[in-house]
Amino acid sequence: MSDHLLNDLSLFAPETAITLTLVAAILADLIFRRTPLVVAALVLAGFVVTGLLLLGQTGVNASIFTGMIAVDSFAVFFKTIVVLAGILVVVFSMESGELNSPGRKLGEYYALLCAAALGMMLMAGASNLLMMYIAIELSSLSSYLLSGYTREAPDSSEASLKYLIYGAVSSGLMLYGISLMYGLSGSLDLRAINRALPQVLSGGGAASFTLLIAGVLALAGFGYKISAVPFHFWTPDVYEGAPITITAFLSVASKAGGFAMMIRFFKVTFIDAGAVALPAGTWATLQGFHWVDLVAILAVLSMTIGNLVAVWQNNLKRLLAYSSIAHAGYMLTGVVVLSNQGLAAIMVYFGVYLFMNLGAFYCVMLIADKTGSEDIDEYKGIGGRSPFLAVALAVFLVSLTGLPPTAGFIGKLYLFAALINSGWTWLAIVAALNSVIALYYYVRVFRNMFLRTEEPSSPGITLSWLQNAALVVLLVPTLLLGLYFTPLVQLAQASVRLFGTP
Amino acid sequence: MEIAGIGILSWITFLPVVGMVVVLMLPKEKKDWLRWTALVVAALQVVLGAFLFMRFDRSLAGINTESGMQFLEKFSWIDVRSVSWFGRLHIEYFLGIDGISVVMVLLTALISFIAVISSWNIEKSLKGYFALFLLLDTGMMGVFVSLDFFLFYVFWEVMLLPMYFLIGVWGGPRREYAAIKFFLYTLLGSVLMLLAMIALYFSVNVYIDPAGGLHSLAEAARGMGQGWEKIYTFNMLAMMDPGNFVPGSLLAGVDTSMRYLAYGALFIAFAIKVPIFPFHTWLPDAHVEAPTPISVILAGVLLKMGTYGLLRISFPIFPDAMRHFAWELALLGVISMVYGALVAMAQTDFKKLIAYSSVSHMGIVVLGMSSMNTQGLTGAVFQMFNHGTITAMLFLIVGVIYDRAHTRGLNEFGGLMNQMPRYAGAMTVAFFAALGLPGLSGFISEMFSLLGAFQTFQTLTIIGAVTIVLTAGYMLWVLQRVFLGPLPEKWKDLTDMNGRETFMLATLGIIVIFFGIYPAPILNLMNSSLNTLAALLQHGAPAAMTSGM
């Protein structure tokens, strides 16, 4: 037994590392009150160590703590995304003028960032409904606090409160769904539920209707985390009000955790283990519960509404919030196809989304720190005054649109390929047409940056070497992965394995 | 054919990128250095183009065989080994030209060169201008030399963003509207092309040997080598062999509704670019707002990418759908011809008139290629070349007068014949070439197109032929309004063309006259390719794939 536990603990090392970082950050904050950079450096180191420990888990396929958490290549991939986002966001936070205003204590900020990351990493691995719920709550509670961290800004408090209220409602719904699921199957473990479900479903209409309700309620919890329409209402306000660093973190890491958890929930719980004669790499869901159609509807709604509403936004943070809703929609299409190819496509998409979305938010942050505004109208003439920054932002936005030769194109290509290959042609057409709408609002930013000029008096934005270096670090993969994407695709293809599924 | 270990087609395609890097490193105050860098790059492209022209083997057909393609370059670009549930992803960097593409490569080199000279008097952020211009150049060249659909698509899209900025930053008063309209229209087409491309990818299987060579399924059936692996492919030539389609796949079979759908998606993508009625509405805006050199590129090269795409991709891959919709294609061509000419006649803005005349003239290309016979196809491809040179002249002519008078209103001019004699000469040549006067190049290509089309669609061709009269009408009317009658007082001090302008127009003018009298050098280039394409379109059975595909 103790052998088991020791083994489990060694597989839990990345999470342990981030927890220790959290504790160390709080302690360091007590000692180095006057120099917040010490805490930042400590947390950065903690994230890097966590990342290295994750690298050591390549190829592991296990379940730890009596089935509470799965450690498989799928979870490791999403944890890596969370950690990479964490590293970049810590760097952003060190640079952010908004956060580093005089008199603000940042010790708790970094500690909460670690807590949120821990929650998201647990979300990626949780294979028990209760564990899932705890993971969601851990990441959400930290996120509520973080999004209200600049509390003197009125938007920030509003954002935090809205986030809390929506979060409370959706986790309440999810908890209700979990209780129904437990009532039906008598278990909280995903695999045990899966084994119990065929018998439940054979019980007839009432049972399968209850299951549908339970599934929809659980979907509300996931949909809230990945900000899919119609659970997206918090997103624009929170993204606009929160500090940009936190917005960036939520838009990537929180989505990654949410997607990982959602995929695991649907794939492990509702897979039809007895299905025969399926092409390699595809699976069937249990008869009697049509969650695929539900997810397809969510995908179409998220893409279309996210993109159409983004067209009308004037605040770039808000615009990126709606665009992130649309991106959640694109990625949801990868869930619909029920194949490893779809999963790999989502992972490829996350791999590129990490760089392009964080890059876009970083540029917005650098500009907002200087101009004090995120209004698109304030971007006039930036292309002439700060060419490198403007070109970098343009590259990230082009990549978000999905035009070659940027990485965003590869993400779209893989998703569309998965859709067409599995016969979801109409969904591919909807997604493709949506990227044309998306172009329209991204181009508004180009237009203001390059096509319109302001009175020449306004000064250019000068960047420190660290800021330039951070931009280059984000730019290189955004461009390189568009021209040579073999490593990313190989990594994604190697990471589709979920514990407990064939 | 290699220079310094790199194939000549790579050189001609990526030289502009090298130039772009140089431009970006130069200080922005050194305006002449920037201009000369661009000019040297464009001149080198012309030299390479001339080299291609001389070394091109006129007897090889190309179209759907690799052995018929020339100046081949082929490397593995993306290679992701297969996993149990997903085949191996193999994308090639595959360049090669045949009789259709070589004409377009020559045209691109020539027009880019002229456009650089025409950019000489641009002053606003010159560094950004030439960087984007050269990137655009690479995109255009790449489209014409790619034989891998994925590579083709990347080049096709690379060209979008520079064009958006070139119109949007350096354009006229309504440039923002024109630029975004161009961008959205083209992207709409491209995403449809992307979907068709993916559908084709999952429908076509070939075998790959350990050395990376592709083999058609028929070849594999005759005898497989060691370690051959079955893969999906983006190779265009493999897509042209019906034998490579996986039975039961999305686009397998002949005349299925999915094939029509994919053909339709590709058609919209290319038709927007041409532009064919009713997808043409972006063109007048883009042309009117674009600065002169960019109008020249737009009309001279970009529009050809649409018709080239139809000839290179849509027709050989979907000959069945092409035959099925040939009449509709011809009809759209005729509507574009007549409609473009009628709208052009109503214009008082000089540049808008030329823009609509482009719609009309590209309609002739579409009508010609819908004929499915050698004459019609020859006419179409030759008309693509001629329209490139003639319309480039026309836009330069508009630019010359606009630079001096700062207006394009046709009704404001008059009596310029004596005021600007050299200008009058150049304009007369260009206009007569555009209206199809025998002895100038436009006549030959229009004649071939109509002759070819008449054999297939008699009524439509007769209706379309009316355009010749309409074109003569609006073209001569322009000449009359600009050159004849009394000279208004305010134009008394207009100067004639300077040396730079004369050089550009004279170069193009000589080409127009030369190919009008002696078109054989161009026709010889494309003859065997178009014979093969016509046979493929008429009989549907392409020549068997030769070994070592």
Residue A497 makes CB contacts below 8 A (sequence gap 6+) with A61, A72, A73, A74
Strands (E), A199-263: none
3-class SS letters over A316-370 = HHHHHHHHHHHHHHHHHHHHHCCEHHHHHHHHHHHHHHHHHHHHHHHHHHHHHHH
What are residue B381's DSSP bridge partners?
Answer: none
Interchain contact, B86 vs A494, CB within 8 Å: no
Q: Kindly list the residues from chain A whose CB atom is less than 8 angstroms away from the CB atom of residue B157.
A: 403-405, 409
According to DSSP, the β-strands at A62-64 and B89-97 are unpaired
Q: Which of A106-115, A343-352, B2-11, B125-134 is least confident? A: B2-11
Interface of B with A (CB under 8 A): 77-81, 83-86, 89, 125, 153-154, 157-158, 160-161, 164-165, 168-169, 175-176, 179-180, 183-184, 187-188, 191-192, 194-195, 198-199, 201-202, 250
Q: What is the pLDDT of residues A162-176, one digit of tens each?
A: 899 999 999 999 999
What token pair was written down for A54?
């994750």
- A330/A357 Cα distance (integer angstroms): 14
Interchain contact, A451 vs B175, CB within 8 Å: yes
H-run or E-run covering A459: none
Q: Give the other-Cβ count within 10 Å of B13's Cβ.
A: 27
Residue type, B271: A
Residue A41 makes CB contacts below 8 A (sequence gap 6+) with none
Disruptive mutation site among A282, A446, A491, A498 for chain B (greatest number of B CBs within 10 Å): A446
Between vectors from CA A82 to CA A80 and to CA A85, what angle results, nearest 5°?
A: 105
> Reduced to 3 states, what is the DSSP secondary structure of residue B95?
strand
Residue B145 makes CB contacts below 8 A (sequence gap 6+) with B9, B12, B13, B95, B96, B97, B101, B105
Disruptive mutation site among A436, A490, A496, A501 for chain B (greatest number of B CBs within 10 Å): A436
Contact yes or no for A357/A324 (Cβ under 8 A): yes
pTM: 0.94
> Reduced to 3 states, what is the DSSP secondary structure of residue A230?
coil
Contact yes or no for A82/A117 (Cβ under 8 A): yes
Give me the DSSP letters along B200-236.
HHTTBEEEE-TTS-EE-HHHHHH---TT-EEEE--BH
Region A142-160: what's the mean pLDDT?
85
Task: Report helix angle A13-31 to A36-55, nearest 10.
Answer: 170
Q: What is residue B272's predicted lDDT score, i.e. its pLDDT?
A: 94
> Reduced to 3 states, what is the DSSP secondary structure of residue B96?
strand
User: In this structure, what DSSP letter does residue B83 have?
Assistant: B
Say yes or no: A428 contacts chain B, CB-CB below 8 A.
yes
Residue type, B392: A
Q: Collect the ranges in chain B with pLDDT lower than 50.
A: 542-549
Say yes or no: A279 contacts chain B, CB-CB below 8 A.
yes
Say yes or no: A230 contacts chain B, CB-CB below 8 A.
no
- B308/B97 Cα distance (integer angstroms): 12
Q: What is the pLDDT of residues A401-450, one digit of tens each?
A: 999 889 999 999 999 999 998 889 999 999 999 999 999 999 889 888 88
**Higher pLDDT pick, A67 / B82:** A67
- Cα–Cα distances in angstroms (integers) from residue B543 to residues A10, A259, B69, B243, in the given order: 63, 50, 14, 11
- CA-nearest residue to B191 within chain A is A432
What is the predicted ipTM?
0.92
- Count of helices and strands (H, E) across chain A: 21, 2
- A152/A158 Cα distance (integer angstroms): 11
Q: What is the pLDDT of residues A13-30, one digit of tens each?
A: 999 999 999 999 999 988
Interchain contact, B191 vs A435, CB within 8 Å: yes
Strands (E), B10-134: 70-80, 89-97
Q: What is residue B451's predicted lDDT score, i.e. its pLDDT?
A: 92
Q: Kindly list the residues from chain B whose CB atom is less than 8 angstroms away from the CB atom of residue A282.
A: 85
Q: What is residue B544's predicted lDDT score, i.e. its pLDDT?
A: 42
Query: Which value, to the nearest 10 degrees, does the dihedral of the CA atoms of residues A403, A407, A409, A413 take?
Result: 170
Q: What are the φ and ψ backbone dihedral angles of B372, each rounded to 5 degrees?
A: 65, 10
Residue B95 makes CB contacts below 8 A (sequence gap 6+) with B7, B9, B10, B13, B71, B72, B73, B74, B145, B146, B147, B151
Contact yes or no for B193/B266 (Cβ under 8 A): yes
Q: What is the pLDDT of residues B356-381, one digit of tens each?
A: 999 999 999 999 999 988 999 999 99
Contact yes or no for A336/A426 (Cβ under 8 A): no
- A80/A254 Cα distance (integer angstroms): 13
Question: Which of A341, A416, A436 lies nearest to residue B195, judging by beta carbons?
Answer: A416
Question: Which of B85, B168, B179 lies nearest to residue A281, judging by beta carbons?
Answer: B85
Q: What is residue A454's predicted lDDT score, i.e. its pLDDT?
A: 67
Q: Kindly list the residues from chain B whose CB atom is less than 8 angstroms away from the CB atom of residue A342.
A: none
- Cα–Cα distances in angstroms (integers) from residue A176 to residues A135, A168, A180, A183, A270, in the given order: 16, 12, 6, 11, 19
Q: What is residue A456's predicted lDDT score, i.e. its pLDDT?
A: 59
Interchain contact, B83 vs A409, CB within 8 Å: no
- B448/B454 Cα distance (integer angstroms): 10
What token pair was written down for B417?
């014949």
Q: What is the pLDDT of residues A271-317, one digit of tens each?
A: 887 776 777 777 788 776 778 888 999 999 999 999 999 999 999 99
Determine the distance from the C-alpha atom of residue A424 to the mean position of all C-alpha atoms in its chain, rounded to a whole number. Answer: 24
- B298/B359 Cα distance (integer angstroms): 12
Contact yes or no for A434/A326 (Cβ under 8 A): yes
